[in-house]
Amino acid sequence: MNLLLAEVAQATQRLAAAGVPSPRNDAEELAAYVHDVKRGELHTVPDADFDARYWETIARREAREPLQHITGRAYFRYLELQVGPGVFVPRPETESVVGWAIDAVRAMDVVEPLVVDLCTGSGAIALALAQEVPRSTVHAVELSEDALVWTRKNVEGSRVHLHHGDAFAALPELDGQVDLVISNPPYIPLTEWEYVAPEARDHDPEMALFSGEDGLDTIRRIERTAHRLLRPGGVVVVEHADTQGGQVPWLFTEERGWADAADHPDLNNRPRFATARKALP
Protein backbone atom coordinates (compact mmCIF):
# COMPACT_ATOMS: atom_id res chain seq x y z
CA MET A 1 0.00 0.00 0.00
CA ASN A 2 1.38 3.42 -0.93
CA LEU A 3 1.26 6.43 1.39
CA LEU A 4 -1.82 7.95 -0.25
CA LEU A 5 -3.92 4.80 0.15
CA ALA A 6 -2.86 4.56 3.78
CA GLU A 7 -3.98 8.17 4.30
CA VAL A 8 -7.27 7.44 2.53
CA ALA A 9 -7.89 4.59 4.98
CA GLN A 10 -7.36 6.95 7.92
CA ALA A 11 -9.52 9.62 6.29
CA THR A 12 -12.31 7.09 5.79
CA GLN A 13 -12.33 6.37 9.53
CA ARG A 14 -12.47 10.08 10.34
CA LEU A 15 -15.36 10.72 7.95
CA ALA A 16 -17.27 7.70 9.23
CA ALA A 17 -16.88 8.95 12.80
CA ALA A 18 -18.25 12.33 11.68
CA GLY A 19 -21.39 10.68 10.30
CA VAL A 20 -20.61 11.20 6.62
CA PRO A 21 -22.93 8.80 4.75
CA SER A 22 -20.35 7.53 2.22
CA PRO A 23 -16.96 7.87 3.95
CA ARG A 24 -14.85 5.64 1.70
CA ASN A 25 -16.24 7.11 -1.49
CA ASP A 26 -15.69 10.68 -0.29
CA ALA A 27 -12.18 9.99 1.02
CA GLU A 28 -11.19 8.56 -2.35
CA GLU A 29 -12.92 11.33 -4.34
CA LEU A 30 -11.07 13.98 -2.37
CA ALA A 31 -7.76 12.16 -2.76
CA ALA A 32 -8.30 11.97 -6.51
CA TYR A 33 -9.31 15.65 -6.64
CA VAL A 34 -6.29 16.92 -4.69
CA HIS A 35 -3.81 14.76 -6.61
CA ASP A 36 -5.46 15.28 -10.01
CA VAL A 37 -5.90 11.60 -10.81
CA LYS A 38 -8.84 9.24 -11.25
CA ARG A 39 -10.03 7.23 -8.26
CA GLY A 40 -8.73 4.05 -9.86
CA GLU A 41 -5.26 5.61 -10.11
CA LEU A 42 -4.70 6.47 -6.45
CA HIS A 43 -2.28 3.57 -6.07
CA THR A 44 -0.05 5.10 -8.74
CA VAL A 45 0.68 8.32 -6.84
CA PRO A 46 4.30 8.20 -5.57
CA ASP A 47 4.77 8.69 -1.84
CA ALA A 48 6.88 11.78 -2.55
CA ASP A 49 3.93 13.37 -4.36
CA PHE A 50 1.51 13.11 -1.43
CA ASP A 51 -0.14 16.51 -0.98
CA ALA A 52 -0.87 17.46 2.63
CA ARG A 53 -3.72 19.68 1.42
CA TYR A 54 -5.66 16.43 1.28
CA TRP A 55 -6.20 16.71 5.02
CA GLU A 56 -7.60 20.22 4.61
CA THR A 57 -10.30 18.84 2.32
CA ILE A 58 -10.99 15.99 4.73
CA ALA A 59 -11.47 18.49 7.57
CA ARG A 60 -13.99 20.40 5.47
CA ARG A 61 -15.90 17.21 4.64
CA GLU A 62 -15.69 16.15 8.28
CA ALA A 63 -17.51 19.39 9.11
CA ARG A 64 -20.21 18.19 6.65
CA GLU A 65 -19.44 20.64 3.87
CA PRO A 66 -20.77 18.96 0.72
CA LEU A 67 -18.23 16.96 -1.24
CA GLN A 68 -19.33 18.76 -4.41
CA HIS A 69 -18.64 22.19 -2.89
CA ILE A 70 -15.09 21.12 -2.05
CA THR A 71 -14.34 19.72 -5.49
CA GLY A 72 -16.51 22.23 -7.38
CA ARG A 73 -18.08 19.50 -9.49
CA ALA A 74 -21.07 17.18 -9.45
CA TYR A 75 -21.82 14.22 -11.68
CA PHE A 76 -25.31 13.65 -13.08
CA ARG A 77 -26.05 10.92 -15.61
CA TYR A 78 -23.45 11.62 -18.36
CA LEU A 79 -22.69 15.16 -17.22
CA GLU A 80 -20.02 16.83 -15.11
CA LEU A 81 -21.44 20.05 -13.67
CA GLN A 82 -19.92 23.02 -11.88
CA VAL A 83 -21.52 23.64 -8.49
CA GLY A 84 -20.85 25.59 -5.33
CA PRO A 85 -22.47 27.80 -2.69
CA GLY A 86 -25.79 29.23 -3.86
CA VAL A 87 -26.97 26.36 -6.05
CA PHE A 88 -28.69 23.08 -5.19
CA VAL A 89 -26.38 20.10 -5.67
CA PRO A 90 -28.07 17.52 -7.96
CA ARG A 91 -28.82 14.19 -6.28
CA PRO A 92 -28.49 10.66 -7.70
CA GLU A 93 -32.18 9.94 -7.09
CA THR A 94 -33.12 12.61 -9.61
CA GLU A 95 -31.39 10.59 -12.33
CA SER A 96 -34.26 8.09 -12.33
CA VAL A 97 -36.74 10.96 -12.67
CA VAL A 98 -34.91 12.23 -15.72
CA GLY A 99 -34.59 8.72 -17.12
CA TRP A 100 -38.37 8.31 -17.05
CA ALA A 101 -38.83 11.72 -18.71
CA ILE A 102 -36.34 10.90 -21.48
CA ASP A 103 -38.15 7.64 -22.23
CA ALA A 104 -41.48 9.48 -22.28
CA VAL A 105 -40.24 12.09 -24.73
CA ARG A 106 -38.66 9.49 -26.99
CA ALA A 107 -41.97 7.61 -27.06
CA MET A 108 -43.87 10.68 -28.26
CA ASP A 109 -44.70 10.95 -31.93
CA VAL A 110 -42.92 14.32 -32.08
CA VAL A 111 -39.93 15.04 -34.32
CA GLU A 112 -38.58 17.98 -32.31
CA PRO A 113 -39.92 17.80 -28.74
CA LEU A 114 -40.38 21.01 -26.76
CA VAL A 115 -39.32 20.66 -23.11
CA VAL A 116 -39.44 23.04 -20.13
CA ASP A 117 -37.47 22.53 -16.90
CA LEU A 118 -38.84 24.64 -14.03
CA CYS A 119 -36.62 25.48 -11.00
CA THR A 120 -33.60 24.31 -12.98
CA GLY A 121 -30.90 25.06 -10.38
CA SER A 122 -27.58 23.82 -11.74
CA GLY A 123 -29.24 23.00 -15.06
CA ALA A 124 -28.69 19.26 -14.57
CA ILE A 125 -32.13 18.13 -15.73
CA ALA A 126 -32.30 20.47 -18.72
CA LEU A 127 -28.80 19.57 -19.88
CA ALA A 128 -29.43 15.83 -19.56
CA LEU A 129 -32.58 16.10 -21.66
CA ALA A 130 -30.86 18.23 -24.29
CA GLN A 131 -27.96 15.78 -24.45
CA GLU A 132 -29.97 12.56 -24.53
CA VAL A 133 -32.83 13.76 -26.73
CA PRO A 134 -30.73 15.47 -29.43
CA ARG A 135 -33.59 16.95 -31.49
CA SER A 136 -35.35 18.49 -28.51
CA THR A 137 -35.63 22.19 -27.72
CA VAL A 138 -35.13 22.68 -23.97
CA HIS A 139 -35.99 25.77 -21.95
CA ALA A 140 -34.80 26.10 -18.35
CA VAL A 141 -36.16 28.60 -15.81
CA GLU A 142 -34.44 29.74 -12.59
CA LEU A 143 -35.27 32.61 -10.24
CA SER A 144 -32.23 32.74 -7.94
CA GLU A 145 -29.40 35.04 -9.01
CA ASP A 146 -26.98 33.02 -6.88
CA ALA A 147 -27.95 29.78 -8.60
CA LEU A 148 -27.78 31.39 -12.03
CA VAL A 149 -24.06 32.06 -11.57
CA TRP A 150 -23.60 28.28 -11.78
CA THR A 151 -26.38 27.58 -14.28
CA ARG A 152 -24.87 29.95 -16.82
CA LYS A 153 -21.50 28.22 -16.52
CA ASN A 154 -23.06 24.81 -17.05
CA VAL A 155 -25.32 25.65 -20.00
CA GLU A 156 -22.70 27.68 -21.87
CA GLY A 157 -22.23 26.15 -25.30
CA SER A 158 -25.21 23.82 -24.89
CA ARG A 159 -28.59 23.84 -26.63
CA VAL A 160 -30.42 24.80 -23.43
CA HIS A 161 -32.27 28.14 -23.48
CA LEU A 162 -31.89 29.65 -20.00
CA HIS A 163 -34.46 32.09 -18.60
CA HIS A 164 -34.13 34.17 -15.43
CA GLY A 165 -37.52 34.50 -13.81
CA ASP A 166 -40.36 33.12 -11.74
CA ALA A 167 -41.20 29.57 -12.78
CA PHE A 168 -44.90 30.15 -12.19
CA ALA A 169 -45.20 33.01 -14.68
CA ALA A 170 -42.56 31.79 -17.10
CA LEU A 171 -42.70 31.44 -20.88
CA PRO A 172 -46.26 32.59 -21.70
CA GLU A 173 -45.22 32.55 -25.36
CA LEU A 174 -45.10 28.74 -25.13
CA ASP A 175 -48.58 28.27 -23.62
CA GLY A 176 -50.29 25.17 -24.98
CA GLN A 177 -47.25 24.06 -27.03
CA VAL A 178 -44.92 22.18 -24.68
CA ASP A 179 -44.54 18.39 -24.87
CA LEU A 180 -42.93 17.86 -21.46
CA VAL A 181 -42.70 19.94 -18.29
CA ILE A 182 -40.29 18.63 -15.66
CA SER A 183 -39.25 19.97 -12.27
CA ASN A 184 -37.28 19.08 -9.18
CA PRO A 185 -38.84 21.78 -6.98
CA PRO A 186 -38.41 22.50 -3.28
CA TYR A 187 -40.57 20.00 -1.38
CA ILE A 188 -39.35 19.71 2.22
CA PRO A 189 -41.93 20.75 4.86
CA LEU A 190 -40.77 23.62 7.06
CA THR A 191 -41.54 21.42 10.06
CA GLU A 192 -38.81 18.98 8.94
CA TRP A 193 -35.94 21.49 9.08
CA GLU A 194 -34.10 19.87 11.98
CA TYR A 195 -34.14 16.44 10.32
CA VAL A 196 -32.49 17.55 7.08
CA ALA A 197 -28.90 16.36 6.54
CA PRO A 198 -26.33 19.08 7.40
CA GLU A 199 -24.94 19.01 3.85
CA ALA A 200 -28.32 20.20 2.54
CA ARG A 201 -29.66 22.23 5.47
CA ASP A 202 -26.49 24.27 6.00
CA HIS A 203 -25.25 24.58 2.41
CA ASP A 204 -28.04 24.21 -0.17
CA PRO A 205 -30.12 27.38 -0.67
CA GLU A 206 -33.29 27.38 1.45
CA MET A 207 -35.46 28.33 -1.50
CA ALA A 208 -34.41 25.08 -3.20
CA LEU A 209 -35.36 22.97 -0.17
CA PHE A 210 -38.40 24.18 1.75
CA SER A 211 -41.94 24.79 0.52
CA GLY A 212 -44.60 25.53 3.11
CA GLU A 213 -45.93 23.58 6.06
CA ASP A 214 -46.53 20.36 4.10
CA GLY A 215 -43.79 20.84 1.49
CA LEU A 216 -46.26 20.95 -1.40
CA ASP A 217 -46.77 24.70 -1.95
CA THR A 218 -44.43 24.89 -4.95
CA ILE A 219 -45.74 21.67 -6.49
CA ARG A 220 -49.31 23.02 -6.28
CA ARG A 221 -48.24 26.05 -8.31
CA ILE A 222 -46.22 23.97 -10.74
CA GLU A 223 -49.36 21.94 -11.43
CA ARG A 224 -51.09 25.08 -12.72
CA THR A 225 -48.03 26.27 -14.66
CA ALA A 226 -47.59 22.88 -16.31
CA HIS A 227 -51.24 22.79 -17.33
CA ARG A 228 -50.85 26.22 -18.91
CA LEU A 229 -47.70 25.31 -20.82
CA LEU A 230 -48.51 21.80 -22.02
CA ARG A 231 -50.28 20.88 -25.21
CA PRO A 232 -53.17 18.40 -24.85
CA GLY A 233 -51.53 15.01 -24.34
CA GLY A 234 -48.32 16.60 -23.00
CA VAL A 235 -46.73 15.20 -19.86
CA VAL A 236 -45.62 16.68 -16.53
CA VAL A 237 -42.96 15.05 -14.31
CA VAL A 238 -42.41 16.34 -10.76
CA GLU A 239 -39.99 15.02 -8.15
CA HIS A 240 -41.13 14.86 -4.53
CA ALA A 241 -40.02 13.49 -1.15
CA ASP A 242 -40.32 9.76 -0.58
CA THR A 243 -42.92 10.51 2.12
CA GLN A 244 -45.21 12.38 -0.31
CA GLY A 245 -45.99 9.56 -2.72
CA GLY A 246 -49.57 9.29 -1.54
CA GLN A 247 -50.20 13.03 -1.88
CA VAL A 248 -48.68 14.45 -5.05
CA PRO A 249 -50.60 12.46 -7.72
CA TRP A 250 -53.82 13.69 -6.13
CA LEU A 251 -52.89 17.26 -7.07
CA PHE A 252 -53.25 16.28 -10.76
CA THR A 253 -56.95 15.47 -10.85
CA GLU A 254 -59.37 14.99 -13.73
CA GLU A 255 -61.30 18.02 -12.48
CA ARG A 256 -58.18 20.14 -13.04
CA GLY A 257 -57.64 18.83 -16.55
CA TRP A 258 -55.34 15.84 -16.03
CA ALA A 259 -55.34 12.16 -16.90
CA ASP A 260 -53.20 9.15 -15.96
CA ALA A 261 -51.79 10.67 -12.78
CA ALA A 262 -49.40 8.19 -11.18
CA ASP A 263 -46.48 7.87 -8.81
CA HIS A 264 -43.15 6.17 -9.53
CA PRO A 265 -40.35 4.72 -7.37
CA ASP A 266 -36.66 5.55 -7.48
CA LEU A 267 -33.88 2.95 -7.69
CA ASN A 268 -34.34 2.21 -3.98
CA ASN A 269 -38.03 1.49 -4.61
CA ARG A 270 -39.17 4.56 -2.67
CA PRO A 271 -41.85 6.90 -4.06
CA ARG A 272 -39.88 9.63 -5.84
CA PHE A 273 -41.84 11.39 -8.61
CA ALA A 274 -45.32 11.91 -9.97
CA THR A 275 -46.42 12.14 -13.58
CA ALA A 276 -49.63 13.14 -15.33
CA ARG A 277 -50.87 13.78 -18.84
CA LYS A 278 -52.81 16.88 -19.84
CA ALA A 279 -56.26 15.69 -20.79
CA LEU A 280 -57.40 15.88 -24.39
CA PRO A 281 -60.25 18.32 -25.07
145 carries a ligand binding annotation: no
Q: Is 7 annotated as a binding residue?
A: no
DSSP 144-169: -HHHHHHHHHHHTTSSEEEEES-GGG
Amino acid identity for residue 203 in this structure:
H
Round the average pLDDT of the chain to a whole number and report it.
Answer: 94
pLDDT at res. 200 = 81
Q: Is 184 annotated as a binding residue?
A: yes
Q: Is 172 annotated as a binding residue?
A: no
| Range list of H helices, the chain | 3-17, 23-35, 53-62, 67-71, 93-107, 124-132, 145-155, 198-201, 217-229
- Could you tell me what percent of the chain has a pLDDT over 90? 85
User: Which residue type occupies 150?
Assistant: W
Q: Is the pLDDT of residue 278 over 90?
A: yes
186 appears as a binding residue in the annotation: yes
Are the C-beta atoms of residues 264 and 273 closer than 8 Å to each other?
Answer: yes
Q: What is the pLDDT of residues 154-196, one digit of tens each?
A: 999 999 999 999 999 999 999 999 999 999 999 888 878 777 7
- In whole angstroms, what is the distance from residue 125 CA to residue 168 CA? 18
Dump pLDDT digits (tens) for 233-247: 999 999 999 889 889
